[in-house]
Chain A
């Protein structure tokens, strides 16, 4: 028995004497479901982290949208007369981190903005800094994970979701949009939204959406929620409903107005008040629900289990090819391990 430390157990004590795991009846109350409460308490104590990235041309209402989502001044954009928004010459990434708390649940929210995206005359490769940034976060996490004495809780700065703002042209996706989404949907969860949707009527909106969905399918771009990661039939049904409505047509607003005696968030125009949280007016509630109320954990899980893992595989294979130069002659070992 001492001679085989690596195998789970020597042959004389089989790991599992029941070939099929036996499902047993409990005769009475045991208390196993209390583990759910334990888990809840624990997670509330440790808190959550969420990293969001917003990408789109300037003027599409990204910062306003984020503020509306989290009902607070997450991105500070001074809006006053005489203020000229300075368009940077190159794509920059700016991250702000806040801690927000609601009903005892603490969340560390990081929002990364991308001013300068798509604003130049020549927009070739403007997605590169973004891709680089996302990979940097994966790299940081990987390095922490590989340490010998590693932290109990590795700080997670990986981008969990990238919201892409599509300008409301009403026609099709532009080449820039397609290029960007194609590249990024492979490494991060991309959620496309139609920005400033109050310029489209409902019919135009529906047509636009159809065209976008067709375009995405034609180019093989899989945006969140991805079809491949539906765990069970219930999830699939739920996600199919969401997939029908992608991309959401949203309107952002951070001012409150009085409508029917209630104070609502909205945009006041001469022809009416667009209520942001009214599902009949725009699809902001759907976006909020997707991102925060129902699928936040799912976004994080897919980032961790799928995108991060594929980054890791790629990275380790690269460093293998370097390490396993003809000196060692151990080529082909990674094939042995990737038996899944």
Chain B
């Protein structure tokens, strides 16, 4: 079997430039690329953050010169939600799939601590979806509808003083995830001098707080100059309007006030034209590239490192692949000597499984501990109950004993009383007998008789009343009563 030997005559870094002696024709390459992209269409996703009623929808309408769905939202949202809508625009032969994400209810709550969190979560979710697609085994990246946010337009209220705390907090949390372009909304409420001061104040605040807003790229000569000047005009003060007025002999978009007309596309009035230039005409491609190359890569790196992957040197987690064994043995010269291609998706799943298992184990542990504690407590309580019961028994017994003692005592007392009564009765009898018959007395009675004096005192009571002394009144009443009784008896008969 023939063995192979690759000999690169020139390393990549020192390629020799070659001169062409005729027209080859690959200068049409950019056109080929562009045609392919035109066939596929472009994706562009804008996120608008700003308080309710600050003019986000109007500005987007004005930017893209069309009328998107403009449902006005109330101020009474309980929390911040994001609403994404996708539209297909076509200009000449370019098809653009534009997605506009609006924050509904931003800055309306009383407690705004968590206002930025839904936004961060949404952006992360889009990155996650792309990462998932990229990690799939069978993937189709070339016709994947890219939903990652390419630019974030942050609408600053035209207070004229400084950034609000909410703005600073939100921007600080978003600057590493998305390209932020701050705009001053409703700029027709600020005068020119105030605007200058406001812009300077805003930029200095952003710089001093370390917020990284999107800087227009200045590395390509064709657009570097214009980008550099635009960078100096940040943040753009914009006015949005879809109503048209007749100025001179043209119809222009403007806002009409009693004191004048603010023309949207007049560079003296506001920076709308600059914003449109920068956002769409000059830097749309750069915004998309920055999102993919910088923000998405950062997210991907963080996510993968979080899951435990490492690029230790040129090796990934070691999974020897026997199929390319021949390659690994002979290819020490090429940097990745030990072939270790990890299937990220699989390991991701494995890790997730592992974490899940860990979680379950911990849950079990906690449950066991909980059960044990409960048991212990129960035991203690039971112990206490038993003790209490014992005490109660003891007390009852004591009480019982006491009562019995008392009963006994009472019985004794009663016995005593009975005995006493008996004796009394007996003595009385004896005395009566001793009085009635003298000779036939026993010796005992003799003794008793000797003790007794031997005579008895009798007391006879006679009722001596004089019959003649009669109470006349009493007599008559007595006779009346007698007569009544007799008549009553006769009546009854």
Contact = CB atoms under 8 A, between A and B. Distances in A.
Interface of A: 1-2, 5-9, 12-18, 21-36, 38-45, 48, 50, 69-74, 90-105, 107-109, 116, 120, 124-126, 128-130, 132-133, 135-136, 139-140, 142-143, 146-150, 152, 155, 231-232, 265, 288-289, 292-298, 301, 305, 309, 312-313, 315-320, 322-324, 328, 330, 333-334, 337-340
A148 B138 contact: no
23 contacts: A16-B85, A17-B85, A23-B87, A24-B67, A24-B87, A30-B276, A35-B284, A36-B37, A40-B31, A42-B220, A90-B3, A92-B4, A125-B1, A129-B3, A129-B5, A146-B341, A292-B25, A297-B35, A316-B345, A319-B319, A320-B137, A323-B347, A337-B137
A86 to B, nearest CB: 14
Contacts of A130: 4
Nearest to A305: B142
Contacts of B323: 318
A331 B307 CA distance: 21
Contacts of B220: 41-42, 45
Contact of A95 (B9, B94, B140, B277): B9
Nearest to B4: A129
A147 B311 contact: yes
Given A15-B84, A74-B18, A132-B327, A319 B342 contact: yes
Interface string B51-76: 00000000000011111110000000
Contact of A317 (B8, B15, B137, B283): B137
Contact of B93 (A33, A73, A120): A33
A125 B436 CA distance: 163
B7 A298 contact: no
B346 A330 contact: yes
Interface in B5-34: 5-10, 12, 15-34
Given A33-B93, A95-B9, A129-B3, A8 B346 contact: no
B137 A72 contact: no
Contacts of B297: 149-150, 152
B280 interface: yes
B365 interface: no
A202 to B, nearest CB: 26
Interface stretch (B254-262, B285-293, B376-384, B414-422): B285-293
Contacts of A50: 26
A155 to B, nearest CB: 7
A10 to B, nearest CB: 9
B15 A133 contact: no
Contacts of A155: 12
Contacts of A294: 28, 32
A41 B86 CA distance: 28
B350 interface: yes
A97 B138 CA distance: 32
A27 B18 contact: no
A34 B97 contact: no
A322 B321 contact: yes
Most A Cβ at <10 Å: residue of B3, B23, B129, B343: B343
Given A94-B9, A129-B4, A322-B321, A26 B64 contact: yes
B325 to A, nearest CB: 12
Contacts of B334: 136, 140
Contacts of B67: 24, 27
Majority DSSP secondary structure for residues of A touching B: mixed
Nearest to A153: B293
Contacts of B2: 90-91, 116, 120, 125-126, 128-129
B139 interface: yes
A30 B29 contact: no
Nearest to B122: A9
B316 A146 contact: yes
Contacts of A71: 20-24
A81 to B, nearest CB: 25
A319 B341 contact: yes
A34 B279 CA distance: 11
B34 A28 contact: no
B349 A28 contact: no
Given A41-B220, A309-B139, A98 B28 contact: no
A335 B24 CA distance: 47
B23 to A, nearest CB: 7
B112 to A, nearest CB: 16
Contact of B85 (A18, A23, A136, A323): A18
Given A27-B66, A33-B91, A292-B24, A323 B16 contact: no
A7 B30 contact: no
B68 A24 contact: yes
A289 to B, nearest CB: 7
Given A107-B26, A152-B293, A298-B32, A2 B282 contact: no
A124 B2 CA distance: 8
Contact of B87 (A21, A90, A96): A21
Q: Nearest 5 A-B pairs (CB), nearest first?
A: A129-B4, A38-B285, A297-B32, A338-B138, A31-B281
Contact of B17 (A100, A146, A319): A100
Most A Cβ at <10 Å: residue of B36, B63, B67, B136: B136
B305 A148 contact: yes
Given A39-B37, A142-B341, A322-B320, A289 B29 contact: no
Most A Cβ at <10 Å: residue of B18, B66, B277: B18
Contacts of B320: 322
B301 interface: yes
Contacts of B34: 36, 39-40, 43
B430 to A, nearest CB: 109
Contacts of B492: none
B407 to A, nearest CB: 75
